[in-house]
Structure 1
Amino acid sequence: MYQMTKSALLVGILSACQFAPILALTLVAGTLIDRYPKRRILMLTQAGFLVLGVIMTVIVLTGIVQYWMVLLIALGYGCLQSFDTPTRQSFVVELVGHKDLMNGISLNSTIFNLAKIAGPSLAGLLMVKFSVGICFLSMQFLIWLCYWVCF
Structure 2
Amino acid sequence: ADIMAVFDPSGGKPVLPHGGTFSANPVSMRAGLAALQLLDHAAFSRLAAMGDRLRAGINAAFAQHGVAGQAVGAGSLLKVHFTARAVVDYRSALPAPAEARALATFMLGLLNRGVFAASYGLMALSTPMSDVDIDHVIGAASDAIGDVARSC
Larger radius of gyration: 2
Instruction: Decide: shared fold, TM above 0.5.
Output: no
Say which structure is richer in strand: 2
TM (norm. structure 1) is: 0.28
Say which structure is richer in helix: 1
TM (norm. structure 2) is: 0.28
